[in-house]
A = this chain, B = another copy of it.
Amino acid sequence: MRIAVLGTGSVGQTLAGRLAELGHEVTVGTRDVAVSLARTETDQRGVAGFGAWSLANPGVGVATLADAARGAELLLNATSGEASLAVLAAAGAENLAGKVLIDIANPLDFSAGFPPTLFVKDDDSLGERIQAAFPQLKVVKSLNTMTASVMARPVEVGEGDHTVFLSGDDAEAKKTVGVLLAELGHTDVIDLGDITTARGTEMLLPLWIRLMQATGTDRFNFKVVR
């Protein structure tokens, strides 16, 4: 499948590399290709500069947001929650129309420091805002409840025995995403319902962050035991 990954950070790098490894034709979309490729320094959190990552992953294409979106059948929103709407606008509504977007972003607000709060919650969600702004896009919220390495290789935590959620208005789009999740190694996929159910998974983030602090690791995931 031709996949555009929007975002050059940790989540974008990890998923782009993994999806290419699985045989997909992956292009990372970025605002300014030259600026992104010029980043070669690893940051404080250990995330590779995108230019260095790209050199090490020659099988993954790099393009402007619009070009990446135009050429793709399916897109991943791997940008920060605060940037998501602007990035998708830059990709161009005409390049998104009719396509599936896996929305991995969370509406984290770090303006008051750590731990972050959420800039939208409870009676609305980032997933819904994206769906409302781009009505012809088929938004499926998923994977936003775990760290990037667990999204990409779930088997590495608890032998993959944990849960991933789906929220979205389009049944066919959720089916497509479900197939991709299975390819990544996810074995327990729960379809929560329409895009308003993204409120639930986005509001899991405050607990996720406190669990990371309490356990000292981000290598965990939730399993719905039933």
Contact = CB atoms under 8 A, between A and B. Distances in A.
27 contacts: A112-B123, A121-B203, A122-B206, A161-B225, A190-B211, A190-B214, A191-B214, A192-B210, A192-B211, A192-B213, A193-B210, A197-B214, A200-B209, A200-B210, A200-B211, A201-B207, A203-B203, A203-B204, A203-B206, A203-B207, A211-B224, A215-B224, A215-B226, A220-B226, A222-B225, A223-B224, A223-B225
A95 interface: no
A2 interface: no
A118 interface: yes
A158 interface: yes
Copies in the complex: 2
Interface in A123-181: 123, 157-158, 161-162, 165
A162 to B, nearest CB: 4
A199 interface: yes
Contacts of A199: 206, 210
Given A190-B215, A221-B225, 14 more contacts: A117-B122, A122-B206, A158-B225, A158-B226, A190-B211, A192-B210, A199-B206, A199-B210, A201-B207, A203-B204, A204-B207, A217-B226, A220-B225, A223-B223
